[in-house]
Amino acid sequence: MDIKAYIESGIIERYVLGHVSPQEKQEVECMSHIYAEIADELRSIESSLEQIAIKGAVTPPAHLKASIMERIKSEEQVQKDSNKPEAKIIAMNTSTPTGKLNKYLAAAVVFLVIGIGGILIFMNQQQSSLNEQLNATNDRLDSLNVENAQLQTTLVATNNDLIFIKDAQTMKVLMNGTPAHSENLATVYWNTTSKKVLLEVNNLSTPPSDKQFQLWAIVNGQPQDMGVFDINTATAFLEMNETSDAQAFAITLEPKGGSASPSLDQMYVIGTI
């Protein structure tokens, strides 16, 4: 039974408006007993019509009540089983040749079928909610795996950096801020054997968007380009160009992409060996 399709068919609206055949009427009433969803749909439409009626209430004239109360004095109430479609159906059932036992059996089968239907729907709902949970857990697991791989990579890189820094041949050169930028500070780690250079940015002012910092090595009184870099907080160390010789390191602010020779008035930090 596709409950959604049943609701979508518009039969509930027609039931509420009174535009159904007696068979359809019974069907909707029966379905709403079996399926809570159909009962909810029916109740919510009926209740909005009730609410609209309450909102649009008009007090009737006082004499109306008196005349209605007068009229019902002479009206007998119709007893339930005299003129009801339900009563007719019961009569038809009893007139069939089947015995009483069969009637109970039939009732039991109906309840059993309804019961099994209910259990199936319940299980189906449980199943789809479990599937949803499983999917969510799998997604979470996938993202944890990705995170884990990223952490591993970072860990290996950090470990390599640490080995490099602890190496006996690695020199630590502290570059202090020039008088105009005294609060700036950066550190160069230079391995005289492997020639590798790592830069640690301790504190550098944020450059304007059209400028970039450039690292220089001073070799025999001449500046040597060690590469431009952006301040990136994600990695602790920046790998710069290699150099076999140096007496000092310095950082200047240059137009984006770097310059062939340093702008000395734009020097931020310098450190001698």
Of 249, 154, 155, the closest CA to residue 197 belongs to 249
Residue selected from 3, 45, 121, 165 as contacting other proteins according to rule CB under 8 A: 45
| Cα–Cα distance for residue pair 90/105, rounded to 1 Å | 16
DSSP E strand boundaries for 81-210: 170-177, 185-191, 197-203
226 burial level (CB within 10 Å; 0-12, 13-18, 19+): buried
Window contacting other proteins (CB under 8 A); options: 14-22, 163-171, 196-204, 256-264: 14-22
| Cα–Cα distance for residue pair 190/273, rounded to 1 Å | 10
H or E element in which residue 252 lies: strand 248-255
Our finding on whether 43 is near other proteins (CB under 8 A) is: yes
Residue selected from 4, 5, 53, 221 as contacting other proteins according to rule CB under 8 A: 53
Question: CB count, 10 Å around CB of 268?
Answer: 20
Our finding on whether 22 is near other proteins (CB under 8 A) is: no
Question: CB count, 10 Å around CB of 185?
Answer: 18
In the bound complex, what is the minimum distance in angstroms from residue 39's beta carbon to other proteins? 10
Our finding on whether 42 is near other proteins (CB under 8 A) is: yes
In the bound complex, what is the minimum distance in angstroms from residue 47's beta carbon to other proteins? 8
Residue selected from 24, 40, 50, 142 as contacting other proteins according to rule CB under 8 A: 50
Identify the three-state secondary structure at position 112. Answer: helix
Our finding on whether 44 is near other proteins (CB under 8 A) is: yes
| Cα–Cα distance for residue pair 86/52, rounded to 1 Å | 31
- Nearer residue to other proteins within complex by CB, 60 or 97: 60
In the bound complex, what is the minimum distance in angstroms from residue 17's beta carbon to other proteins? 5
Applying CB under 8 A, the site for other proteins has a residue count of 44
Our finding on whether 4 is near other proteins (CB under 8 A) is: no
- Nearer residue to other proteins within complex by CB, 15 or 237: 15
In sequence order, the 6+-apart residues with CB closer than 8 A to the CB of 202 are 185, 186, 187
Window contacting other proteins (CB under 8 A); options: 15-23, 139-147, 182-190, 263-271: 15-23
Window contacting other proteins (CB under 8 A); options: 43-51, 152-160, 178-186, 227-235: 43-51
Interface positions, 89-108, toward other proteins (CB under 8 A): none
Of 191, 164, 180, the closest CA to residue 251 belongs to 180
R_g over Cα of the chain? 44
Residue selected from 5, 52, 92, 234 as contacting other proteins according to rule CB under 8 A: 52
- Nearer residue to other proteins within complex by CB, 8 or 147: 8
List residues binding other proteins (CB under 8 A).
10, 13-14, 16-19, 29, 33, 42-61, 64-65, 67-69, 71-73, 75-80, 84
